[in-house]
Amino acid sequence: MKRLLKNFLPHLAYFYHHLRYRMSVLLITSIFVGLLDGLGLTMFLPLLELIADPNAQASSEKLGNLAFLLDGLRTLGLNLNLNVVLLTMLVFFIFKGIATFFERYMRVVYQQFFIAKIRLDNIQALSNYSYNAFVHADAGAIQNTMSGEVERVMQAFRTYSTMLQQLVMILTYAALAFLASPEFAVLIVIGGVFSNFLFSALYRKTKILSSELVKRNHTFQGYIIQAVAFFKYLKATAAMQGYSEFLRLKVLDIEATNRKMGVLNSIMMGLREPLMIGIVVSVILIQVNVLGGGLSTIILSLLFFYRGLTSLTALQTSYNQFLGYSGSLDNMSSFFNELVAHANTPGRQPFTAFEHSLELKNIGFSYQKNRPILQAINLTIEKNESVAFVGESGSGKTTLLNIITGLIRPESGVYLIDGLPVNDLDIQSLQKHIGYITQDPVIFDDTFFNNVTFWAEHNKTNLGRFEDALRKAHVLAFVHGLEHQENTRLGNNGISLSGGQKQRISIARELYKQVDFLFMDEATSALDSETEKAIQENIDELKGQYTMLIIAHRLSTIKNVDRVVVMKEGQIENIGSYEELLEKSHVFKRMVELQEL
Ligand code: ADP
Ligand code: MG
């Protein structure tokens, strides 16, 4: 019982937090259902009496403290004959029907409300989640929690609200049984408490298995996502075999846990009824043989207990199901808290347009303590300047760009845009002015038009802007050559496109947005010469029209930028034009030589 309460109350708080007054509505309607049912049942006793002797009037002594019911009818001036008793019973059950309808209906409505609220809260929290925290998070767990786990939370609520309803019914029946025959009721309750001890051990086991299952499902999900993401690599290197063997073990593991839970459930299901009936039988025997009471006084109480027993069985079933889902509930709330704990705290100042310069003053950053990734970065970038960042892999180029885009915040130093500290800016209003071309071009499985315009309305103005962007990105002729033109679908992750085409499309998308900044993180892998050409053409063409920051791996692509920043071990080694650096930077000269080999 204590354990039941311990599991019951915190979750009640969780549901109450989301549903508020709606919980009371559910509670009150449940009480009504139970009361009306009980009152209807009470009428069975006078009915039995009248069946034995149809001409008599029903008496009220056998009802114990519920006698007021018949007495009440009598004071209304009614003769307690068969018609009145039957009719009263019918009226109670009609009202119970209405209450049941209302209770069920509200439950469905609130269930939908609850789940929609969880989904919306999660989406909101995810969109505020800081990038810093995201890079350390488990992407598989996030995906799984926001999709599959939500379903399980809904099941948790469904089973919990059934439980709540059954609990209310039990309490109502117990109260009625107590009114009818207090002595008998107390004995039954004692028996019930004993039987509960037996079940609690089984419950505990189920609970542990349930949270284990959640964890296993998560890791499994994560591995599946990676199997899809790295499909090509796994396939090409014949590593898929080993990987699927590994996945097979995970599946078997999950299966075994599920089976264990199934066994526990079956044991409980089988045990429950014989145990309960055993208790009732013993209590009747005690009542009659030891306490010397008559059977007639306990009939009504027994009737309520029998009814309560049905609810108790249902309660234990739903409690057990609920335990199976409760792991998800804990998981969902800790997931949500984690998102909220790492929410962005943007400033309030809106960013309207880039006017003069970006200034990085003595910027430092580290992902982990005592392992500085960036140190003492000092750099000023003027509007419409084009700046390339070069340096060994791991020298901090991407991290620096992440700081400049506002994805992560520097740990030390000051970052100013047009003289304003970026921390004071509403970061999203700044990011709307940023075009970002990532290492892996982002291509959606949708049409050319939607990929570039981000699902803008297909009208004349937008089409004009669309073509403009394509022209600037040197991809217009390609699109015009296609059978379905801008309505051609690009396939899963742009599978039907070459690397260069993907690059040009993702540049076109940024140009369509009418941004101030263009940031580019070139692919680290060797670019094919077509892609390399695409990038170089785009850079040369767009230079001077946008403030461009380019992380370059192929140095040929950045021959014409205004300035090149050479990064080394998280610091700026040198800054200058391509030609200047060949003279003055050792590191740069060596990089160029290596690439010309
Ligand atoms: P570059 O782009 O120049 O190759 P990065 O900025 O990506 O370099 O990385 C710089 C350093 O920061 C590397 O040593 C890398 O291991 C580390 N690093 C990058 N991202 C993370 C992260 N999310 N968590 C911890 N360390 C990271
Ligand atoms: Mg990088």
Average pLDDT in the 267-288 region? 82
356 pLDDT band (50/70/90 cuts)? very high
- Regarding whether 306 and 376 lie in a shared domain, the answer is no
359-374 pLDDT, tens digit each:
999 999 988 778 889 9
Q: Which two tokens stand for residue 124?
A: 């909101």
- Regarding whether 18 and 93 lie in a shared domain, the answer is yes
- Regarding whether 367 and 264 lie in a shared domain, the answer is no
Average pLDDT in the 296-313 region? 80
Average pLDDT in the 270-291 region? 82
586 pLDDT band (50/70/90 cuts)? confident
Q: Which of 296, 316, 341 is the last residue of a domain?
A: 341
83-102 pLDDT, tens digit each:
888 899 999 999 999 999 99
pLDDT at 433 over 80: yes
- Regarding whether 411 and 319 lie in a shared domain, the answer is no
Please check whether residue 53 lies inside any domain of the structure.
Answer: yes
- Regarding whether 315 and 463 lie in a shared domain, the answer is no
Average pLDDT in the 394-404 region? 91
How high is the pLDDT of residue 525? 57
Distance of CA 401 to the CA centre of its chain: 30
Protein residue with least CA distance to atom 27, ligand 1: 367
Q: Decide whether any atom of ligand 1 lies within 6 Å of the 393 Cβ.
A: yes
Q: Decide whether any atom of ligand 1 lies within 6 Å of the 373 Cβ.
A: yes
Test site for ligand 1: of 342, 363, 367, 368, most ligand atoms within 8 A of the Cβ: 367
Distance 209 CA to ligand 1 centre (A): 38
How high is the pLDDT of residue 374? 92
Please check whether residue 347 lies inside any domain of the structure.
Answer: no
pLDDT at 315 over 90: no
Domain of 522, in residue numbers: 357-596
Q: What percent of the chain has pLDDT over 70?
A: 94
pLDDT at 494 over 70: no
189-200 pLDDT, tens digit each:
887 787 777 777
From the list 64, 94, 45, 49, the residue with the least C-alpha distance to 303 is 45
How high is the pLDDT of residue 579? 87
450-490 pLDDT, tens digit each:
888 888 788 888 888 888 888 888 888 888 887 778 778 77
**Contact in structure between 17 and 121 (CB atoms under 8 Å):** no
Intra-chain end-to-end CA distance of the chain, in Å: 77
- C-alpha to C-alpha distance for 216 and 238, rounded to whole angstroms: 26
517-573 pLDDT, tens digit each:
988 887 655 566 767 777 777 788 888 888 999 998 888 888 888 999 999 999 998
Find the CATH number of the domain harbouring 123: 1.20.1560.10
- C-alpha to C-alpha distance for 468 and 347, rounded to whole angstroms: 34
- Regarding whether 234 and 89 lie in a shared domain, the answer is yes
Distance of CA 228 to the CA centre of its chain: 21
- C-alpha to C-alpha distance for 215 and 213, rounded to whole angstroms: 5
How high is the pLDDT of residue 36? 93
Lowest mean pLDDT segment, chosen from 3-12, 133-142, 248-257, 402-411: 3-12
Q: Which of 341, 369, 397 is the last residue of a domain?
A: 341
Please check whether residue 183 lies inside any domain of the structure.
Answer: yes
Report CA-CA distances (Å) from 507 to 435, 438, 511. 8, 10, 6
Find the CATH number of the domain harbouring 580: 3.40.50.300
Protein residue with least CA distance to atom 16, ligand 1: 394
